Amino acid sequence: MAKIAPLSGFPELLPEERVVEREVIASLSRTFELHGFANIETRVVEPLDRLAKGGEIDKEIFVLQRLAAEPGAKAELGMHFDLTVPFARYVLENAGKLDFPFRRFQIQPAWRGERPQEGRYRQFTQADIDIVGRDTLGFHHDVEVVRVMVEALGALPLPPLSFQVNNRKLIQGFYRGLGIADVTAAIRVIDKLDKLPAEAVAEQLVEQAGATPEQAEQCLQLASIRVGDTSFVDQVRALGVEDDLLDEGLRELAAVIDGCAGVVSERVTVEANLRIARGLDYYTGTVLEVFMSGYERLKSVGGGGRYDALASDGKTTYPGVGVSFGVSRTLIPLIADGVLSGSRKVPSAVLVAVTDEDGRDSSTAVATALRARDVACEVSADAAKFGKQIRAAERRGIPFVWFTQADGTHQVKDIRSGEQVEADPSSWTPPEADLRPQVLRAGQDTGSPESRTR
Amino acid sequence: MAKIAPLSGFPELLPEERVVEREVIASLSRTFELHGFANIETRVVEPLDRLAKGGEIDKEIFVLQRLAAEPGAKAELGMHFDLTVPFARYVLENAGKLDFPFRRFQIQPAWRGERPQEGRYRQFTQADIDIVGRDTLGFHHDVEVVRVMVEALGALPLPPLSFQVNNRKLIQGFYRGLGIADVTAAIRVIDKLDKLPAEAVAEQLVEQAGATPEQAEQCLQLASIRVGDTSFVDQVRALGVEDDLLDEGLRELAAVIDGCAGVVSERVTVEANLRIARGLDYYTGTVLEVFMSGYERLKSVGGGGRYDALASDGKTTYPGVGVSFGVSRTLIPLIADGVLSGSRKVPSAVLVAVTDEDGRDSSTAVATALRARDVACEVSADAAKFGKQIRAAERRGIPFVWFTQADGTHQVKDIRSGEQVEADPSSWTPPEADLRPQVLRAGQDTGSPESRTR
């Protein structure tokens, strides 16, 4: 049989790499739960008419169909391409059984048939938090979801992250107060600032949004404001535009920046960045994107915002605010670059050696005694020479090997230091740092808080 | 917009139901890790030619294709229908990077386009453990995987489970020693004993396997042996058939039954049941199925066995032994029947009340102090009357509500008992049993070991 090639765009992890993803997901889940977010999972498929709305994303949708379907049968199901569309449908479908505001987190794969590249995969895992209200949803939840995600990502051993926050009311109010003819077009054009030079954007503002060259200049000045505190308010005021919606946007953005002051750190910063627009139409207030230091080429590794109509059944509208974090987009490049790795290939902290096959039961009894105190361990696969059993532990990264002596006493060897001591299977426990596989960050010590997620 | 109907065969859980699935998966994972099984996840798709082998399963395969694919383009990818096929491919693809014997657990959905019914879904989650060797794999691993799954399922709050174990060598050796012409056909026929009456099976043994009526009768006698200890060995011997392979099968099955003696309980029993064959060809030794008391209509909720060639690349063969547990097949009927439920809809143990919107920051400070000691909590969504805030907690099943008094002192109320006491946010902790949502089993007390998975 020919060598099996990986499928492009469908990355898989080796066991020691999966340790990283698993611990990151466990850490995220813990933070979300501490803040009262309930976990849900949605099915992977949605009716195609709920997914395909005529937008850019349509051509990336994967459809699902039985192999035994009639030839030419029309596909009715598609794989979800994010977690927002299925969540909105879940809220509508179960509205009568949910309590609002409904706070949920969801960590699942999504699928897009796009061209694979670093950080972009055909199957990728996302971690989303959202708070959804029925009819209304207090603005303070905007502050809350951003703060929760800052805290959640701050607990991970990632390179420094930057939350870049803006507010659609601020932009819209500013453009309106300025007298720009087509505010929506202006937002779409400003969103191109990371791809086009400022002059080109200014030209498009004139051509596509009906701005005068002076107005376009002021739009660019607004977009150039980027600060880590609320001094942006005075900088915007200095541009001399007056508008009620602008005032509201300034207040809201200032509240988000202020509200995060207690959770920012060297590892996660939060800035007001007035060029962030997020092209999608449904955002109506807070908008944000998350960038990772040294990995700006991935573009944002997370993002989100406020949407006044996450879902609607015609009678009732469900406003929401949420942030999404790209688990695969972030971790797979970091793992590939050796920035993050798992400390071992197996959960076992101890390999219990087997002296001869007749003595396997006594080795199993030792393992059972250790497991009773939550020490993960495995019994050696065969009664090879001790040196070979130790090398088997070494290859897997298992730190300790346990020996039962002929006289019934026990010894445990730390194979990193070579130190071997007498031990009692009913009381011996490895150091806390050795109990579970850990996430290691290149250039940092094992066991420091920086390099551990639990 | 019309009311959204669920998609048949794609069950989804409400947050309080998801608590059950989540805690069950966490408990299974913990047991598997204690025994040194490493977690992996495989992509959801495989090349179609790896999935479709001309068997019965083929017509249930879902294919995946881009919506934008050329009309008439041939589908190349299918969704995996179990976790064994992708695992075998993963082992071959990564053989050079894995350490053998390789012990892994995998808990993921799989997809089958079959007709939905109770316990059978188009998307369903399975939990698999396997140990795979390169070239060889010690028989003791058969004992080990069965024991690990007994222990893992015994830690769950399920109705009583029964592991029914047999051995293909035992059956094949018996048939061969008996002189049956077509041993493979005989196994296939005996596998129908749960659907057809004994006489019909005896007739088919004569017609399809070339047995004499006397041989058919002896096959049925073998299949009627079912005991919870190793007394089956003498019962088989009493049938007077002699064969080396039979001897080996008897030894192996006795070792599995003996090896599990230390982990069986009232909740999980292990029996030798000599009619268990499992139709699939690739099993070569130990075979087993798991049944749940009161839910025999689901057929088996788990199963597995030994396969001497889980995977092969032509040069190297990888023998394996594993057991699979149907998470969705088991839990969804139990949840629907009200046998299992989550103790609350949210992770929060405490709702921190808000006296007025200006005081939200002090409520947030209380929540932050509680979270620092791993107490999950949420701050009230609005400064409604206290009675309304308490009812909001009640609806979600949150046991405690926290009040900050005008004088800066704090009180916490257990809303189940109504008891309200002074408390310090920097030291107060709820009882252990209230810290996390729990899995409740109908008819059992909250908080007993029986009704908790963590």
Give tens-digit pLDDT for A277-336: 887 668 999 999 999 999 999 999 999 999 999 899 989 999 999 999 999 999 999 999
Question: CA nearest A220: which of A250, A254, A251, A186?
Answer: A186
pLDDT at B300 exceeding the cut of 80: yes
- What does the pLDDT read at residue B448? 43
Q: How far apart are CA A142 and CA A227, in angstroms?
A: 19
The answer to whether B385 and B364 are in contact (CB under 8 A) is: no
The answer for residues whose C-beta is within 8 angstroms of residue B77's C-beta and 6 or more apart is A7, B45, B46, B47, B48, B63, B64, B65
**Rg of the Cα trace of chain B?**
27
Dihedrals phi, psi of A283, to nearest 5 degrees? -75, 140
Specify the DSSP class assigned to residue A381: S
Closest CA to B129 of B266, B300, B322, B306: B322
Separation in Å, CA of B314 to nearest CA in chain A:
6
Residue B284: exposure state from Cβ atoms within 10 A (0-12, 13-18, ≥19):
middle
**Identity of the highest mean pLDDT range in A300-304, B68-72, B282-286:** A300-304
Q: What is the chain B residue with the closest CA to A5? A: B93
Q: Which chain A residues contact residue B59 at CB under 8 A?
A: 66-68
Please give the structure tokens belonging to residue A401: 């090997």
Around Cβ B254, how many Cβ atoms within 10 Å? Answer: 18
d(CA A313, CA A398) in angstroms, rounded, equals 55
- Please say if the pLDDT value at position B340 is more than 60: yes
Check if the beta carbon of residue A40 is closer than 8 Å to that of residue A127.
no
**CATH number of the B15-170+257-341 domain:** 3.30.930.10
Nearest to B67 among A37, A59, A392 (CB): A59
Question: In which element (H, E) is residue A320 found?
Answer: strand A317-326
Q: Which CATH number fits domain A350-436: 3.30.390.50, 3.40.50.800, 3.30.2130.30, 3.20.20.140?
A: 3.40.50.800
d(CA B215, CA A397): 54
Are B107 and B327 in contact by the 8 Å Cβ rule? The answer is yes
Candidates A51, A64, A398: best to mutate against B (most CBs of B within 10 A) is A64
Preceding peptide of A116 cis, ω within 30°: no
Per-residue confidence (pLDDT) for residue B452, from 0 to 100: 42
Residue B5 one-letter amino acid: A
Confidence of residue B412 (pLDDT cuts 50, 70, 90): very high
Closest in B61, B101, B346 to A36, CB measured: B346
Give residue B14's Cα distance to chain centre. 20
* Residues recorded for chain B: 454
ipTM value > 0.90: yes
Under 8 Å between Cβ of B287 and B302? no
> B61: which chain A residues are within 8 Å (Cβ-Cβ)?
66-68
Q: Cα–Cα distance between B274 and B242 in angstroms, integer? A: 17
Length of chain A: 454
CB contact under 8 A, A41 and B113: no
Q: Residues of CATH 3.40.50.800 domain(s) within chain B?
A: 350-436
* pLDDT tens figures, B350-409: 999 999 999 899 999 999 999 999 999 999 999 999 999 999 999 999 999 999 988 889
Q: Does A278 belong to an annotated binding site?
A: yes
CA distance A87 to A323: 13
Question: How far off is chain A from B250, nearest CA to CA, in Å?
Answer: 19
B300 contacts: CB under 8 Å, gap ≥ 6:
B289, B290, B291, B326
Bond into A431 cis (ω within 30): no
Which phi and psi (to 5°) does residue B220 adopt?
-65, -35
pLDDT of B103 higher than 50: yes
Yes or no: say if B57 and B122 are a contact pair by the CB < 8 Å rule. no
DSSP classification of residue A436: S
Measured between beta carbons, the chain A residues lying within 8 angstroms of B375 are 34
Q: Which residues of B11-27 are buried (b: 16+ CB within 10 A; e: fewer)?
A: bbbbbbbbbbbbbbbeb
CB-closest option in A360, A374, A395 to B99 = A395
pLDDT band for B53, please (50, 70, 90 cuts): confident
Q: Which residue of A17, A34, A74, A352 is the best one to mutate when testing the B interface, meaning the one whose CB has the most B CBs within 10 A?
A: A34
| pLDDT reported for residue B114 | 87
Shortest distance between the Cα of B261 and any Cα of chain A, in A, equals 13
Q: What is the CB neighbour count within 10 angstroms for residue A16?
A: 20
Give per-residue pLDDT as tens, B27-41. 999 999 999 999 999
What does the pLDDT average to over B196-211? 94
Pairs from B260-263 (Cβ < 8 Å, separation ≥ 24): B260/B143, B260/B146, B260/B147, B260/B150, B260/B163, B262/A368, B262/B147, B263/B147, B263/B150, B263/B151, B263/B154
Per DSSP, the three-state class of A180 is coil
Sequence letter at residue B77: L
Yes or no, beta carbons of A36 and B312 under 8 Å apart: no
pLDDT of B63 higher than 90: yes
Contact B350, B412 (CB under 8 A): yes
Q: Is the dihedral of CA B246, B250, B255, B260 positive or negative?
A: positive
Cβ contact, residue pair A61, B58, below 8 Å = no
User: What pLDDT sits at residue B450?
Assistant: 42
Residues of chain A with C-beta less than 8 angstroms from the C-beta of B368 = 262
Contact A236, A225 (CB under 8 A): yes
User: How far apart are alpha carbons A355 and A363 in whole angstroms?
Assistant: 9
Mean per-residue pLDDT pooled into runs of 10, chain A (454 residues) = 83 98 98 98 95 84 89 88 96 97 98 92 98 97 98 97 97 95 89 91 94 95 97 97 97 97 95 88 91 95 94 94 98 97 97 94 96 97 94 97 93 97 97 96 58 41
What is the DSSP-derived secondary structure letter of residue A367? H
Mutate to test the interface with A, among B30, B60, B346 (most CBs of A within 10 A): B346
Q: Is the pLDDT of residue B449 over 60?
A: no
HEC assignment per residue over chain B: CCCCCCCCCCCCCCHHHHHHHHHHHHHHHHHHHHCCCEECCCCCEEEHHHHCCCCHHHHHCEEEEECCCCCCCCCCEEECCCCHHHHHHHHHHCHHHCCCCEEEEEEEEEECCCCCECCECCEEEEEEEEEECCCCCCCHHHHHHHHHHHHHHHCCCCCCEEEEEEEHHHHHHHHHHHCCCCHHHHHHHHHHHHCCCHHHHHHHHHHHHCCCHHHHHHHHHHHCCEECCCCHHHHHHCCCCCCHHHHHHHHHHHHHHHHCCCCCCCCEEEEEECCCCCCCCCCCCEEEEEEECCCHHHCCCEEEEEEEEEEECCCCEEEEEEEEEEHHHHHHHHHHCCCEEECCCCCCCEEECCCCHHHHHHHHHHHHHHHCCCCCEEECCCCCCHHHHHHHHHHHCCCEEEEECCCCCEEEEECCCCCEEECCCCCCCCCHHHHCCCEEECCCCCCCHHHCCC
